[in-house]
Structure 1
Amino acid sequence: MDAALLSPPRRLRVPIDNRWGAGEMAVLDFGDPARPVDLIFVHANGFNAATYRCLLSPLASSLRIWAPDLRGHGRSSLPIFAQPKTNWRDHRDDLLGLLAKLDGPPAVLAGHSMGGTASLLAAAVAPSRVSSLVLFDPVIWKRSSTLMFNLPLAARLLAGAPISRAALRRRRLFDSREQALAAYRGRGVFKGWPDAVLADYLSDGLTETPDGLSLSAAPEWEAANYAAQAHDPWRALRRYGGPVRILKAERGALTSLSPHPRGLPNVTVEVVPGGGHLFPMTHPDVARDALFEAAV
């Protein structure tokens, strides 16, 4: 078996300094460190880069992959709530800082859910650094909803949405990782997840504290991200001219684009049969094939 598959990803600390506050972004570095970065993969809200280790590790024999922990997630030390949270431009700007660290050719930028949308927003600002986009059920509301979410005070209204309230109710402390694994296995959003993927999520999703193991992504920050929708992915789609491949969930999709979106000839949209919003965890082969095809 290839050594890249046997070796765990390296852990990098990448300095980021922008208007949202300075700190370090934690990055998992898969594959041959001597080659340029081929692919950057960005996780969904509330999760972390390690959650996708089973998805990304098999690609490490052919590709070098960076998987960052977004601000407020995993092992990143970037401050949160430095400014009122109304949109995902903080994640966009952090990804722009990460893209600026690349010393090779443009890379594929990919992501899941919020990570996909943040990747799209970043690519629209720095298209010369992104060879193509691969987005797994990115959060792209209908155009009318996007306009509404950009109105003043929209974030306050969205803070009362069921998904935001549910995030605030998440259990915060566990006595052990085994306890957390037992609490999550087969329940809620984790239904259908293999134990290995759930264990990977918990590896960086829990942080040791004097009171026990605490969620790395604070429930308040996760809820704030759900409520912060005052950005415009439709404008970003128009601005980024490179290839955009979107894989959309068949059930509970958060992507409102049709298979042939009008006025966006560079965008393709495919539905993942049987896949829900978290299909990268439950249907990893589909997601992995899309990443490989874009990066080779």
Structure 2
Amino acid sequence: MDLGDSARPPDLVFIHANGFNARTYRTLLEPLAGKARILAPDLRGHGLSTLPAPPVWRRSWRDLRDDMAALIDAIHGPPMILAGHSMGAVVALLAAAQRPDRVRSVVMLDPVVLPRPTALAMSLPGIGRVARRYSLARNALRRRDRFGSRAEAMDAYRGRGAFRGWPDAVLADYVADGFRGAGDGVELACTPGWEASNYAAQGCDPWPVLHSLGRPVVILKAEHSSTCSVAPGQIAGVDVSTVPGGNHFFPLLKPDQPRAALSAALDVA
């Protein structure tokens, strides 16, 4: 997505979560388009992206980091804000570390930051075989990947599983770019194999980057079942707060606080 005044350089680049796509976050980001230009790309293997994404097991998200660094290199203008949700938040942080002179701050919405000992262990040789047994990876491989139409997919998802509580507008945006035509129906743009591969690719430890980035970092954590183990005040320069009543999907279900955090970052010169 490209929101706001296309004549100005991008102020904010927002990166979606694993299995999602940029359009899923339209209702979060669109209200900010009056004050900023916002780019929200589809990551490799998601949405409308045509970059190759073979469903093989990977050790880390460094390939996604490098894609984002390449995108930053293609953008001309002053330093920008990088932001994202879940996996996308960590990719934003890692890309900021690759191009610190092009980034002014990072906003992370319930990022996947494992406890430090676990994060260190996930970088060890051979640990990837264990990561493949994650329940999230196993569940992704079992996802139904074909439907007769997007409307059928909407009906199948509405009020169920991870989609419980999603507003219809958000679910419709997810389905619109989350599926592509396949024969006489539609299939997931992010294949179950690629989604599982991302869940298992936990070999990129974000803790050193959080300590050394040298740019303001804002983290919003879910109150319930957060994927972020960073505590308030734990790291200098990293502002951590909790979204009351929010679960991991709060950017879609409770967008006011994350939108306010993005807006505040945009207001800092």
TM band (smaller chain): over 0.9
Counterparts of residues 224-235 of structure 1 (less than 5 Å): 224-235=197-208
Aligned to 1:257: 230
1:276 to 223, 236, 247: 247
Contact 1:124 1:237 in 2 (8 A): no
Q: CA deviation at 1:161?
A: 1.2
Tell me how far 1:253 sits from its aligned partner. 0.5
Look up the SS of the partner of 1:270 in the other structure.
Answer: strand
Instruction: Give the share of equivalent positions with the same residue, in percent.
Output: 53
- Aligned with 1:246: secondary structure? strand
CA contact (8 A) 1:55 1:284 kept: yes
Q: Which amino acid aligns with 2:75?
A: L
Q: What is the Cα deviation at residue 82 of structure 1?
A: 8.8
Partner in structure 1 of residue 73 of structure 2: 100
Query: 2:21 aligned with 1:58, yes or no?
Result: no
What is the alpha-carbon distance in structure 2 between the residues aligned to residue 142 and residue 209 of structure 1? 41
| 1:238 CA displacement | 2.0
Q: Distance in 2 between matches of 1:67 and 1:149?
A: 29
Corresponding residue for residue 22 of structure 2: 49
Separation in structure 2 between the aligned mates of residue 81 and residue 100 of structure 1, nearest angstrom: 25
Looking at both structures, which has the greater relative contact order when contacts are Cα pairs under 8 Å and sequence separation is at least 6? 2
Contact 1:45 1:222 in 2 (8 A): yes
Supply the distance in 1 between the matched residues of 2:199 and 2:15 (Cα, whole angstroms). 16
Aligned with 1:295 (options 250, 257, 266): 266
Structure 2 partner of 1:286: 257
- Determine the C-alpha separation between the residues in 2 that align with 1:60 and 1:242: 24
Deviation at 1:202, TM superposition (A): 0.4
5 Å-filtered alignment, 1:49-198, equals 49-81=22-54, 85-198=58-171
2:217 counterpart (239, 244, 248): 244
Deviation >6 Å, runs of 4+: none
Long gaps (5+) in structure 2:
none
Size of the alignment, in residue pairs? Answer: 267
Q: Which amino acid aligns with 2:68?
A: L
2:176 corresponds, among 187, 200, 203, to 203
Mapped to 2, the partners of 1:82 and 1:93 lie a distance apart of 18
Q: What amino acid does structure 2 have at the position aligned with 1:199?
A: A
CA distance in 2, matches of 1:222, 1:82: 8
Alpha-carbon separation, structure 1, partners of 2:68 and 2:184? 33
Q: How many angstroms does 1:203 deviate by?
A: 0.6
User: What is the Cα deviation at residue 211 of structure 1?
Assistant: 4.7
Task: Output the TM-score relative to the length of structure 1.
Answer: 0.88
Give the letter for the 2:249 counterpart. L
Q: Distance in 2 between matches of 1:130 and 1:290?
A: 17
Contact 2:55 2:193 in 1 (8 A): no
Aligned equivalents of 1:83, 1:130: Cα separation in 2? 31
Answer yes or no: is the 8 Å Cα contact 2:178–2:190 preserved in 1: yes
Q: Which consecutive residues of structure 1, in runs of 5 or more, have no partner in the other structure?
A: 1-27
The DSSP-based 3-state class of the residue aligned with 2:154 is helix
Q: How far is 1:235 from its partner?
A: 1.3
Q: Is this contact kept in 2: 1:167–1:223, CA < 8 A?
A: yes
CA contact (8 A) 1:109 1:130 kept: yes
Matched with 2:238 is: 267
What amino acid is aligned across from residue 270 of structure 1 in structure 2?
S
Deviations 1:219-276 (A, max 9, x none): 0000010001111100111221110000000001010011111xx3110100100000
**Alpha carbons 1:174, 1:213 under 8 Å: kept:** yes
The alpha-carbon distance between structure 1 residues 90 and 195, as it changes in their structure 2 partners (threshold 3 A), is same
Cα offset, 1:181, TM superposition? 0.6
Residue 84 (structure 1) shift: 5.3
Separation in structure 1 between the aligned mates of residue 128 and residue 153 of structure 2, nearest angstrom: 31
